[in-house]
Amino acid sequence: MIHVFTGPTLAPSEVALGTPQLRVLPPARHGDLDDPAIETGHTVVLIDGVYHQAPALRHKEIRAAIAQGVRVIGALRAAELHGHGMIGPGRIYGAYRRGALTGDDEVAVGQAPDGDLHAHTWPLVNIRHILQSAERESQRS
């Protein structure tokens, strides 16, 4: 089973998340990895998490899940916990590992405190990508 914590970045209604092997959950928060439905051999994918609305998921929770045989995948937290077995695929993870990105604000997405899963802001990594793409396109013209 794959447990995907998402919300504003990738809406739970996204077609790709409609696979029976996926359990789609709201953004991760403190205590979520203690869910008895997350068992040894399962995978947890951390796409979104809370940090101002409620207590955030802690590093020690991720390390405990890994120690119990749960595969945990993410970007920012994976860069911080790669030495503890967290997996980090992709460009954002790579940028954090290289030190090109350093702050949580690079991937932060504003959300309403009432559980509304719509994004209220864009993460800085998206804005930087759009600006870099526009710059490359203008140089081709």
pLDDT per residue as tens digits for the range 23-33: 999 999 999 99
Question: Three-class SS of residue 38?
Answer: coil
The identity of residue 2, as a single letter, is I
What pLDDT does residue 2 have?
96
Taking all residues of the chain, what is their mean pLDDT, rounded to a whole number?
90
- What the block records as the tokens of 40 is 């040894």
Question: What's the pTM?
Answer: 0.87
More confident residue, 111 or 34: 34
Starting at the edge strand that comes first in sequence, how are the strands of the sheet with 71-73 ordered? 22-25, 2-5, 43-46, 71-73
**Percentage, residues of the chain above pLDDT 70:** 99
Question: Is 44 within 8 Å of 88 (Cβ atoms)?
Answer: no
Q: What's the CA gap between 21 and 5, in Å, rounded?
A: 14
How would residue 89 be classed by pLDDT, with cut points 50, 70 and 90? very high
